[in-house]
Amino acid sequence: MKNYLLQLAEKQSFTEKQMKEAVDFILGEEVSESEIAAFIMGLKSKGETVEEIAGIVKALKDNTLTFNRKFPNVLDNCGTGGDGSSSFNVSTTSAFVIAGAGIPVAKHGNRSISSKTGSADVLEHLGINLNLPAERTEEILQDIGIAFLFAPHVHPKLKKVMAVRRQLKIPTIFNFIGPITNPIDLDYQLLGVYRRDLLNVFAEVLQKLGRKRAVVINGAGFMDEASLQGENFYTLLEDGNITNHSFYPEEMNLTQYDNNCIKGGDSKENGEILVKVLKGEQGAHRDTVVLNAGIGIFTAGKADSIKGGIELAKEIIDTGAAFEKLTVLIEKSRAGRREAI
């Protein structure tokens, strides 16, 4: 560990391979919390490169719960959090709409860290079992086209690193990489970041991780998802190329709403919002979901444009297909409760 820390002290960057080896070592049993803290802060002070972020993610994937099945065309839609918006669970609600469009969704998420209610909190409140074995999770994804992967359950070796992260109480690379450490091999990804300067950085990381197509978005008001408040900025990874774009809600035939209109609350309140949206209730919550789900549908190539994805998202909600995905996931996950670890 000493050599890694000396390298950081001298502001020397790691190759992707070196970073993977360093994180593999950190995830072992012999490294102290003070050494982990020094390593994380050394990286932050130096500034993380694309190669280093990719190396961290690959190490974490190699040390996760083992998933053996390969699923074609799987997508995850998740934000980094940290935008301070206190919004309801937009990406979690959108995941059911995307799945309703016939796109397999492996939703990776956690309990609340920077917001009032994390994806795991609201799904648990709705009756979804978070701690299923890998085999059962794979069966559910295969059978119904959507499954939830609870981050602490699928990344058991990260416990010590996460404890250090909480103790530091300042943003580090581990605040950003959660959404890209999904243990399922993804073809598509919709990733929200609250820092606009990271759009291209994370698009390059997703390129290195082998995504076929991806959108990295920063919403109006610096939200970590698309927003109806104003201009949204996104980076598209497609056919190996990275391009930058932006749009306003009115260009997508959507009403503009201030971000305050989509504030959420505890798991009960956010669960109620999620269900109301999936049952078709109109308003800012629904429009925000159809926007984000539409981008996810576009990301997976199910629509030729974001506008086309939005129209399909509306249809999926109105036909009840999105709500059906929620009810079946609750049923399937609870049926596997006896097998839970």
Whether residue 108 is annotated as binding a ligand: the answer is yes
Whether residue 119 is annotated as binding a ligand: the answer is yes
Whether residue 107 is annotated as binding a ligand: the answer is yes
Whether residue 253 is annotated as binding a ligand: the answer is no
What region, left, alpha or beta, does residue 77 occupy, with left being phi > 0 and alpha being psi -120 to 50 degrees?
A: beta
Whether residue 91 is annotated as binding a ligand: the answer is yes
Whether residue 178 is annotated as binding a ligand: the answer is no
Whether residue 225 is annotated as binding a ligand: the answer is yes
- Under DSSP, is residue 339 helix (H, G, I), strand (E, B) or coil? helix
Whether residue 34 is annotated as binding a ligand: the answer is no
Element (H, E) at 182: none
Instruction: Look up tokens 């602490």; give the residue.
Output: 152
Cα separation of 164 and 265, whole Å?
27
Whether residue 112 is annotated as binding a ligand: the answer is yes
Whether residue 87 is annotated as binding a ligand: the answer is yes
Whether residue 89 is annotated as binding a ligand: the answer is yes
> Which has the closest alpha carbon to 52: 37, 40, 63, 62?
40
Whether residue 155 is annotated as binding a ligand: the answer is no
Whether residue 114 is annotated as binding a ligand: the answer is yes
> Which has the closest alpha carbon to 173: 65, 293, 22, 3?
22
Rounded to 10 deg, the angle between the 306-318 and 321-335 helix axes is 70
Whether residue 224 is annotated as binding a ligand: the answer is yes
Whether residue 90 is annotated as binding a ligand: the answer is yes
Please report how many Cα atoms fall inside a 13 Å half-sphere around the Cα of residue 299, on the Cβ side.
36
Cα separation of 51 and 53, whole Å?
6
DSSP string, 291-317: HHHHHHHHHTTSSSSHHHHHHHHHHHH
Element (H, E) at 241: strand 241-247
Cα separation of 245 and 312, whole Å?
21
Q: φ and ψ at 166, to 5 degrees? A: -65, -35
Tokens describing residue 51: 């190669």
Q: φ and ψ at 232, to 5 degrees? A: -110, 140
Dihedral of alpha carbons 251, 255, 258, 261, sign = negative
> Which has the closest alpha carbon to 178: 46, 82, 89?
82
Whether residue 165 is annotated as binding a ligand: the answer is yes
> Which residues fall in the annotated binding site for Mg(2+)?
91, 224-225
What are the binding residues? 79, 82-83, 87, 89-92, 107-115, 119, 165, 224-225
Binding residues for anthranilate: 79, 110, 165
**Binding region for 5-phospho-alpha-D-ribose 1-diphosphate:** 79, 82-83, 87, 89-92, 107-115, 119
